[in-house]
Structure 1
């Protein structure tokens, strides 16, 4: 192939080595530039074959033929799944970047109905899809045409639209230095092919759980424009809050205007805010207005109506209702 950068280090050699060693044999290679490569496999011949139950046949998951793929079921049914039962439109959106269609089909069969899937057949297409759709998780091969998995990690982790998205690299390059390279480019996990299905499922479950913890953290934290951000995600929310505060008294400052101010599409901004806070863009703008209203009521002598107009609410009655729904008490009961 003329498209792969790492020709000759794919899954075939890893599978051959694993199978030979399972049979108690050895595999050797001799290669000379310009002359070719010779592989030598030595297998022992004995009359002491192990019992079938002793063979480590379920340690690794190889790629079966399409007709032998597992039937689709709930996500990772063989693992102690910690994911909640998501409604269809709220299931995590998982992007698989892989140039082998059989591997894509196998991953989808393994993960079952616990996710919604996007697929891309090379690194460049994967980055474009991720930036447009902003998935919840990315699983990427390392050796691909157009752009390798390391390049995918670097692009996505350095773009504010996708910097929060966890990335799992799946590859046959299982050396320690390869793992370090993947992690140094921003990968959240690095699994070797042939991969252990159960480990992949547990990794995915934990990444989804971490996302829920991140949402709780940012939901409960008062984002201040003046404080030093602890992460790129907090820096993004600080920028968002600053833009909302700039237009705080403008009742017509809406989501389309916010999207233009932060240079994101409506879908990109919605999925970014949803991933970080669990709120829609409209909810986040309204709640930011309400938090500022509460601060004004606590620190100034402004009346409830004045604060309502100051924070972009056209009608004080609507402001009072929204305030009570968010804080659990009316604005008139806020202590100064």
Structure 2
């Protein structure tokens, strides 16, 4: 295996451990308690699978033992954002945290949050925020 792959694996392990710790610490936050149960469940599933490039509505539906159609229908009742937008938002938020707090570079962070290609991460990021990740980090 390549040294870069080892570094990415080590980083992913650190991030997973950090996520588990944060999930436990934040499970009682008032804002979370006020969310509808479906939103909390879906966000927990997304959080657990954030690094999986194959994370999808189908995977989430399967985790909830329901169909994708039923999940879409019920989700529309409780959230203004689509599930796919929610996944993207959570991935971008986590990537920014990793870059700022864990001092990962953009490439490492993009892989850790489930993007197979840093170029796709950068394009999707720019589409979402109107700035490249580098520009966004300089301004924020």
Q: Does 1:231 align with 2:18?
A: no
The one of 70, 73, 82 aligned to 1:268: 70
Q: Distance in 1 between matches of 2:35 and 2:104?
A: 35
User: Where does 1:232-311 land on structure 2 (aligned, <5 Å)?
Assistant: 232-233=35-36, 235-311=37-113
Q: CA deviation at 1:279?
A: 2.7
Q: CA deviation at 1:288?
A: 1.8
Give the ranges of 4+ consecutive aligned residues of structure 1 lying more than 6 Å apart after TM superposition.
none
Tell me, what secondary structure is at the counterpart of 1:301?
coil
Contact kept? 2:38, 2:75, Cα under 8 Å: no
> Which residues of structure 2 form unaligned runs of 5+?
1-21
Contact kept? 2:95, 2:109, Cα under 8 Å: yes
Q: Distance in 2 between matches of 1:261 and 1:325?
A: 29
User: Where does 1:1-336 land on structure 2 (aligned, <5 Å)?
Assistant: 226=26, 227-228=29-30, 229-233=32-36, 235-333=37-135, 334=137
Q: CA deviation at 1:232?
A: 4.9
Structural RMSD (CA): 2.2
Q: Write out per-residue CA displacement over residues 113-132 of structure 1, whole angstroms, 9 at most, x where no aligned residue.
A: xxxxxxxxxxxxxxxxxxxx
The higher radius of gyration belongs to 1
> Which residues of structure 1 form unaligned runs of 5+?
1-223
Aligned to 2:6: none
Higher relative contact order (CA 8 A, sep 6+): 2
Contact kept? 1:251, 1:313, Cα under 8 Å: yes
TM value normalised by structure 1: 0.31
